[in-house]
Amino acid sequence: MSFALNPRLLTVESPPIPEAQGWRAEYSGAFGPMIDLSQAVPGTPPPEAMLERLASSAGSGDASRYGPILGDGVLREAYTAEISRFYGAAIPVAATAITAGCNEAFVTAMLALAGAGDNVILPVPWYFNHKMTCDMLGIEARALPCSPEAGFVPEVEHAAALIDARTRAIVLVSPNNPTGAVYPSEVIADFARLCRQRGLALVLDETYRDFLPGDGAPHALFADGDWGDVLVQLYSFSKAHAIPGHRLGAMVAAPSVIGEIAKVLDSVQICPARPAQAVVAWAIEAMRPWREAQRQELQRRAEVCRNAFAHLNGWKLHSIGAYFAYASHPDAGRLPAREVARDLAARRGVLALPGPYFGPGQEEHLRLAFANVGVERIAELGVRLREN
């Protein structure tokens, strides 16, 4: 190769899930089919009524044309109405933007908030794509360690000690990927208060909010009329509507911020993919019972996973919620987590991700994403992990 690549890109870790999925080929099949807990994907397709509408929309001439930079009005309006209902606050349509999935929403937020040499605070363990994004942009991902003893919920006092003149934002993910931890509303409020005091943005990724155990809103940030001075909220339609391949996410921020973010979105996507937008706008209300059934099913899978770990020696389940369980393995302090995870895949047919994929200090842990595995298979963990 006669040309040079961006040195920042060369220092970024490669996407980790393909490496882990490569371990599938090493499994002998001794325990039956592989239990693949490596990736957070919905376990069921959308209902037939939604699939039919998606097919029809994809074949329409209108869906093949460019749309508005910030997303089609029908989805922006439907989503704004939904979050206004859910959070009990009047959120204007001008405060929303539709993106190509939540990953793009995060990249866009970082481009809008920070520049090379700045830093943002990320709780550890972190979602690896967040760290990769910061590395590519030359933004320091400043680690905020979260402890198993605290259920992997970040502590605001520790975050305050990390802030300096180059800090631009604090990022929270709740329910969390990778730990499944659900941050209490008062913790989220404390972080918002800290950000307001220090002139920072609070980037709150709520990709998994549709799978919370309770029915109420997870925080009251939108009740503050000045929420736009602090909050940038991110969301994904992929999980709740089981359409990750259609790549639709959303951002909520002050209308003035959304206006600036439009510059990024026009440069990156021009407009979000159109075929699914009107369908999702319809599904927000029409598919509410189906989504509730999916939420209940995920709660059931989490309970079965919790029960499986309750009878295992050497394993400890530290946190579980939404799509994820985060556990320490019996070989902690003796073997690297990557070696443990690869061995589990090869010998026992359980594919989980090693903790170091999610940041420093995670050698003792594995992440299990149970959303795409039925309760019968999850129950098998009690046997397969016990035999380790």
Cross-strand partners of 142: 121
| Pairing relationship of beta strands 96-99 and 249-252 according to DSSP bridges | antiparallel
The runs of H, that is alpha helices, within the chain are 7-11, 16-21, 48-58, 73-87, 101-113, 128-137, 156-162, 185-198, 237-241, 255-268, 277-286, 288-310, 337-343, 375-379, 381-386
CA–chain centroid gap for 387, Å, is 31
Average pLDDT of the residues in 223-238: 96
| Residues 54-110: tens digit of each pLDDT | 999 999 988 899 999 999 999 999 999 999 999 999 999 999 999 999 999 999 999
Q: Which of 172, 190, 189 is nearest to 181 (CA)?
A: 172
**What pLDDT score does 387 carry?**
61
Spatial distance between the Cα atoms of 328 and 202, rounded to a whole number of angstroms: 30
| Residues 172-221: tens digit of each pLDDT | 999 999 999 999 999 999 999 999 999 999 999 999 999 998 888 999 99
| Residues 15-51: tens digit of each pLDDT | 889 999 999 999 989 899 999 999 988 988 999 999 9
DSSP assignment letter at 207: T
**What pLDDT score does 311 carry?**
86
- Could you give the percent of the chain with pLDDT greater than 70? 99
**What pLDDT score does 377 carry?**
92
Listing DSSP states for 190-205 in one string gives HHHHHHHHHT-EEEEE
Q: How many CB atoms lie within 10 A of CB 117?
A: 9
Report residue 332's pLDDT band, with 50, 70 and 90 as the boundaries: confident
**What pLDDT score does 176 carry?**
97
Question: Residue 67 has which token pair?
Answer: 């749309």
| Residues 361-370: tens digit of each pLDDT | 999 999 999 9
Q: How many CA atoms lie within 13 A of 266 on its CB side?
A: 8
| Residues 277-289: tens digit of each pLDDT | 999 999 999 999 9
pLDDT at 388 over 60: no
pTM (2 d.p.): 0.95
Spatial distance between the Cα atoms of 356 and 339, rounded to a whole number of angstroms: 11
CA dihedral for 96, 100, 101, 105, sign (positive or negative): negative
Cβ–Cβ under 8 Å, residues 24 and 351: yes
CA–chain centroid gap for 367, Å, is 13
| Residues 251-270: tens digit of each pLDDT | 999 999 999 999 999 999 99
φ, ψ of residue 145 to 5 degrees: the values are: -65, 140
**What pLDDT score does 386 carry?**
83
Cβ–Cβ under 8 Å, residues 84 and 90: yes
Three-class secondary structure of residue 118 per DSSP = coil
Report residue 313's pLDDT band, with 50, 70 and 90 as the boundaries: confident
Question: Residue 177 has which token pair?
Answer: 């990927």
Fold of 65-286: Aspartate Aminotransferase; domain 2 (3.40.640)
Residue 119 region, left (φ>0) first, then alpha (ψ -120 to 50), else beta? beta
Q: Which of 156, 140, 137, 164 is nearest to 202 (CA)?
A: 156
What are the extents of the domains in the chain? 7-45+289-386, 65-286
DSSP assignment letter at 32: S
CA dihedral for 149, 154, 159, 160, sign (positive or negative): negative
| Matching CATH number, 7-45+289-386, of 3.50.50.60, 3.90.1150.10, 3.40.630.10, 3.40.50.720 | 3.90.1150.10
| Residues 237-246: tens digit of each pLDDT | 999 999 999 9
Cβ–Cβ under 8 Å, residues 6 and 135: no
Average pLDDT of the residues in 128-139: 96
Cβ–Cβ under 8 Å, residues 79 and 236: no
**Lowest mean pLDDT segment, chosen from 111-115, 310-314, 315-319:** 310-314
Spatial distance between the Cα atoms of 65 and 68, rounded to a whole number of angstroms: 10
Q: How many CB atoms lie within 10 A of CB 368?
A: 27
**Cα separations in angstroms, 321 against 79, 90, 300, 324, 368:** 24, 29, 11, 6, 11
